[in-house]
Every structure is written in structure tokens, then in C-alpha cells.
Amino acid sequence: MKSKMLFFNVHIVLDDLKRYWGMAVLYFGGLFFSGPLHIMSLFTNENKYPNEAIENFLNLRHAELQMVLSIFVPVVLAGLLFRYLQQNKSTTLMHSFPITRGQLFHSHNIAGVLLLMMPIVLIGLVLMVILNINHDGSQLFEEIFTISDILKWVGFSIISNLVVYFISVLVATITGISLIQMVLSLISIFLPVGISVLIVFNFDQLLYGFVINQNLFENFIIKIIPCISSMGEKAIDSNFIIWYILLSIILYFMGYGLYKKRHLESASDPIAFELLKPIFKYGFTFCSMILGGAYLYMMERVDLWLYIGYFIGALLGYLIAEMIIQKSIWIFKNLKGFAIYTMVILVVFAGIKFDLVGYEKRVPNVDDIESVYYGNGLYGYWSNGEEGNDNLKTSENIHLVRELHLEVIAHKDEFIREGKKNTTKRIGIAYELKNGKTIVREYDIPKECAAINESIAKIYESTEYKINYYDIFDLDPTEVAYIEMDPELKNTSEVVKIVATDEIEEMIQSIKSDMLDETYKDVIDEKRSWARIYIHYDELKDLESEHENKRMYLTWEKHYKHLPGWLKENGYYEKARLMPKDIEYMVIEKTSEELKNANGYNTKELAEGLKENTNKQRLEIRNKDQIEEMLVNDRSDWPDEKRYIIGIYYTNGDSKIDWMDQKDAPEFVKNFFK
């Protein structure tokens, strides 16, 4: 009598636990082997460190098995607990008992929650035992492997499982077929991310300059469902924990409401509610359409194929959805709905294509602009948190960015056409308006056009842009512990280390001066740098700014003038770069078709082969002035043409292979191979 007063039935809960305890054991075993067992094996091995394994497991980063289990187990468990809804005899029998629908629903879910929680709690206890046994007071047990971190893992894992489980329960009340229930559950879990990616990709093809707010995607969309939040790089904050709890409650009561209204005879129906059938049909058609368009466009990169993909995807999606709903393949007489859908989509696409809302041509008035951002794409803008710290505020730069934007819009067709045939440069433009709104655009323009564009050149050469673009202008020399210079192409492990405080300050100032002097032509020149520069922060000081990395990376470019002068004055110059005296000789040959594809070849073998080959026309250089000219003209590691293959033979007996385009070769090389 007492159980009738409860909102659940104890006997049903116990029966579910008895029937499906194997799911809890399976879940526990998977978690145990992927986490505690692996961690224990690392603690017993003196040559291995468990830090990374513990951090990955507790933060769900790179914990693939844990992520799979957190999706697979709740989905399957919900399918098993509510399988009776998909069978006419079972659903009739269950609902014939003297138990309310509410008691049935609550009882099954209590059993499901217990079966999901018990393995996680037990794993948490096992981790605590491992912690207590191995605790030695080290940094690992103070910052990574703590009771607090274990409890956070337990809490987040439970919440993550509950969200997935209640999604699956909600889907179970909507459909009458177990297989469809599991498939729709998986689709629903990944739908926020999947549909966002597809929509963004398709809008990127349809709207010139379209770009999604990267912070919105990284900070919100990818975190809507907790089990997929590990795909992102940023940690989950407390606001999302509250959201997950609310989402679980919302999903539970939505499922409860639909369960009470579900008709018994809807068992074995793919969609149990008439109202949801058109939503499912056209939603499935739309998703299939944008997937088909994206797939075919990625294969051919032709607009015609994009629209063919839309049509094929939409048609297939509509037919499949109809087959699922009607439980029959004879649905071709029901194409009236597809015709209506097609007309609606054509109107929408026409509006997008002809830019009826003015998205593509929208350029704000100068008087409405507070500041602007320009960069190689919008990564710097998003990573800056849209706070505008790297924005350009001078009137001249605002006008230049706006003029560039207008020029890109005016040459839209030309840039799209040329961009499909030639190398492009990505540019990002953002406006911060005085009314607090933002306008962001991203374009791929032909690299040749970008190289001669006056607006881009003037922006790059402005002092304001350089101070914003180069991190070194925000660097306080007193925060630097030391500077290292690692020479490019110099076949040695030795690096130049600068530790004196006055020298560090002088060197940083000389680099700043060179950056302020460089022209746009210098920036786009692809000559290989003389050396890599690593500025290491002083970790012992209480710095005002938190540095994400332990060091700053720069390069000693060949057009620099102040830095080479300072290096010569202080005796670092010849140690910090490859000098002609470090090279005994060079051998140059025209590259054969076979060697043009030699990226994966062993360069040591290539160098030896080039050294021994005396049959081909070859140029051997021993003159130090000519070697210096070759070094000055040396450009990127893998030139497009790779016209010449160069064997570099050092005075210490080592050798190396390099490549050079004909346009970059010195005149004496071109003359020799005429």
C-alpha cells in the first residue's frame, strides 16, 4: 500500500536493476581499463610518468574510450529500459498494471540513473585509493591528481551521462522502433555541432565574405551537449554546469509529458506523434540537402555541383524520411510535399544569392566606425576575445580598411574566379561600431592581387598596425630570462644564448626598430630567415601578465638592418647564422621530374647521390661570395617549382639538401644553366 503513495514503483526499479546490471558492469569495466588500470601501471613503472594520463582522463581530453562509453552506454540503456514502448504486446501489458504512467516513467528512469551513476562513483573511489597509496607530496598530487579533481570528474561524468540518457529517453517516447530510437538519439547528440558546421560551410559558399563567430562556436555551440565538449580546447565553466543540470530537467519533463500523451497503438510506428512527422520529414530533408551540397562541392569545387548536391541530397532525404514514416518503399506518389519544399528553398536561395538583405555589400559609414581589425584571417580577432585590443583606431587605417573592403566587394567575381585557379591569401576584416555592434568578414583573394594592393601595403606599413601585430611591442624586457638564437640551415646543435640584462634590452630594441622599418614588400618576401629567436620569460618573477607560453617565438629576417649591426657589435653575428665559411662547397643541378616529388626522400641519401653524380650538367660553387649570394637568396623549404636541387656540404663533413626556384636563383646560376 505504501508504494502506491510513491511517485515510483520499487518493484519496477529493482526488476530493472536485476535485468540490466550487466550494462553497469560493462561501463565500469570500460572506465576501469581506460583510466585507473592504466594509471596504476604507470605508477609501478619507474621509467614512465602518469601525469599526462591522469590529466587526460580527469579532463576528458584525448580520452576517446571514455567519450564513446559516455554516449554508447546511456543510449543503449535508455533503449533497453523503454523497449516495451516499441512492442505492441509489451506496451499493452506494462500499461495494464495498476500503476500510473507517471510511476512507470519515473521508475524506469530511477533505475537508469542508478545504473549510470554507480560505475562512475565506484571509479571515483578507486581513483581516491590510488591517490592515497601513491601520494608523495609532489606537484602532481597538488595540482593535477587531487580529491577535488576526482570529485569534479565524478560530477561532470554523471551530468554528461544524464544529458545523453534523457535525450535518448525523450527520443524513445517519440518513436516506436528501437533502431530508429538509437539512431535518432545519436543524431540529436551531435546535431548542434553537425548542423552548425554544415550551415556555416554552405553559407560560406553562398554568401561572399561570410564567417561564423568563432568564439560563439567554441564557447557555446560545441559545449551545448557535455559529452562532446571535450572536442573543444577550452574548459567548461560553472555556467555550463548549471545549463547541463537545467537541460537534464527540461529533457526529463519533456519526455514525461510526451510519455503521458503517447497512444499505446503507436508502438512500432517510426514517429509516434502526428504533429512531429512533418517536423521530422522536412528537418531530415534539410539536413540531407546541406550535407549533399557540402559533399559534392568539396569533391569538385564548382558552384553547379553545389546546387546538384542540394537537389540530390534533398530528394534522397525526403524519400528516406517518407519511407521511414510510411514504413514502405512505395512512396513516390507522395512527392507533393517535396515540390512545396523545393519551391520554398528556391525562394530562400534566390534571396541569399541576390543578397536581398544586403549582407555582401554592407560596409559601414566611416562616421559609424569606432575601430577596425585587419589580419590574415580573423583568428587574431577571435583569440583577442573581441575586446578590440588589437584593433586599428587611427582615421587613416579606418579609411584604408574600408577602401580595401569596398575593393574586394567590387572585384568579387574576379577574385572568386581567380581564386579557384591560383594560390589565395585569406584576409579578415572586422568593424567595431559606435553603437556597440560588430561586422566581420573573411575573404580569400588571389595572392598576386594581395601582393600589389596599395591599401594592404599601407596598413602593414603603418606604425599602429605593427605595434598591434607584433607581440614584442607588448614585451617588458625585465620579464625576459634569456634569449636563444637557433640558426637556420646551420648544421649544428649549438645555439646562441644571450643572458645579460643590458644586452637583452638592446637586442629587443633593435628587433623593434627593424620591425618598424620593414616594408610590405619585405613582409611578403619569402626568403628563409637567418635564425629562429626564442625569448624565454623569467618564471621566477611575479609577472603582471600571465603568459600562455613559456617563450615568445620570432625570426631574424634577412631584410633586418638594426639586429645584424647589434649582433656584430656584440660578437654574436657569425655564431647566430650560417656563414659561407661554414660551407665547404655547394652543388647545383636542374631538378628531374622524379626529384620534384622527393619531399619524403632521405635528404642525406639525396645529398650523397648528388655529390657522387658526375654525369649531369652541374655547378659546383666554392667561391665564398657566391655561396653568400646563394644563402641570401635562399627562400622557403619547398618552393613551388623546385627548379634547382642544391647539395650543401659543410666543413664539418655533414651535408644537406635544399631547393630553389629559377626566379630566386642568382644570375651566375641562371647563366650557367642557359
Cα separation values, 610 from 218, 601, 638, 655, Å? 50, 13, 18, 10
Q: Is residue 203 part of a domain?
A: no
Q: What is the pLDDT of residues 383-435, one digit of tens each?
A: 765 555 678 999 999 999 999 999 999 999 898 888 777 888 999 999 999 99
Question: 24 φ, ψ to 5°?
Answer: -65, -40
Residue 542 pLDDT more than 50?
no
Cα separation values, 136 from 39, 132, 141, 143, Å? 15, 9, 7, 13
Average pLDDT over residues 35-62: 79
Residues 398/392, Cβ–Cβ less than 8 Å: yes
pLDDT level of residue 550 (50, 70, 90 thresholds): confident
Give the pLDDT confidence score for residue 638 in this predicted structure: 60
**Separation between Cα atoms, residue 172 and residue 272, nearest integer Å:** 9
Residue 18 domain boundaries: 2-191+221-266
Question: Is there a single domain that holds both residue 636 and residue 540?
Answer: no
Question: The C-alpha cell of 487 is what?
Answer: 640558426
Q: Is residue 419 part of a domain?
A: yes
Q: Is residue 207 part of a domain?
A: no
Q: Is residue 271 part of a domain?
A: no
Question: Is there a single domain that holds both residue 565 and residue 441?
Answer: no
**Separation between Cα atoms, residue 669 and residue 424, nearest integer Å:** 30
List % helix, strand, coil for the chain (3-state, nearest 5). 60, 10, 25
Q: Please classify residue 473 by burial: count the beta carbons closer than 10 Å to its beta carbon, then call 0-12 exposed, 13-18 middle and 19+ buried.
A: middle
Q: State the number of CA atoms in the 13 A half-sphere of 562 facing the CB.
A: 13
Of the candidates 363, 385, 383, the one whose C-alpha atom is nearest the C-alpha of residue 429 is 363
Q: What is the mean pLDDT of the chain?
A: 85
Question: Is there a single domain that holds both residue 288 and residue 424?
Answer: no
Give the pLDDT confidence score for residue 231 in this predicted structure: 64
Average pLDDT over residues 483-492: 81
Can you give the pTM of this predicted structure? 0.78
Question: Is there a single domain that holds both residue 37 and residue 131?
Answer: yes
Q: Is residue 185 part of a domain?
A: yes
Question: Is there a single domain that holds both residue 286 and residue 399?
Answer: no
Q: Is residue 206 part of a domain?
A: no
Residues 150/122, Cβ–Cβ less than 8 Å: no
Question: Is there a single domain that holds both residue 570 and residue 490?
Answer: yes
Question: Is there a single domain that holds both residue 490 and residue 634?
Answer: no
Q: What is the pLDDT of residues 132-170, one digit of tens each?
A: 888 877 777 877 888 998 999 999 999 999 999 999 999
Count of the separate structural domains present in the chain = 5
Q: Is residue 205 part of a domain?
A: no
Last residue of some domain: 319, 353, 387? Answer: 353
* Three-state SS at 483: strand
Question: Is there a single domain that holds both residue 586 and residue 456?
Answer: no
- In the block, residue with C-alpha cell 555551440: 221
Residue type, 459: I
Residues 125/166, Cβ–Cβ less than 8 Å: no
Question: Is there a single domain that holds both residue 451 and residue 505?
Answer: no
Give the pLDDT confidence score for residue 75 in this predicted structure: 93
Question: Is there a single domain that holds both residue 398 and residue 501?
Answer: no
Q: Is residue 152 part of a domain?
A: yes
Higher pLDDT, 574 or 141: 574
Last residue of some domain: 311, 330, 353? Answer: 353
Q: What is the pLDDT of residues 498-507, one digit of tens each?
A: 999 999 999 9
**Separation between Cα atoms, residue 518 and residue 186, nearest integer Å:** 54
Average pLDDT over residues 90-111: 82
Last residue of some domain: 451, 469, 487? Answer: 469
Give the pLDDT confidence score for residue 608 in this predicted structure: 75
pLDDT level of residue 544 (50, 70, 90 thresholds): very low
Average pLDDT over residues 424-451: 92
Give the pLDDT confidence score for residue 545 in this predicted structure: 46
Give the pLDDT confidence score for residue 659 in this predicted structure: 84
Question: Is there a single domain that holds both residue 133 and residue 229?
Answer: yes
Question: Is there a single domain that holds both residue 516 and residue 652?
Answer: no
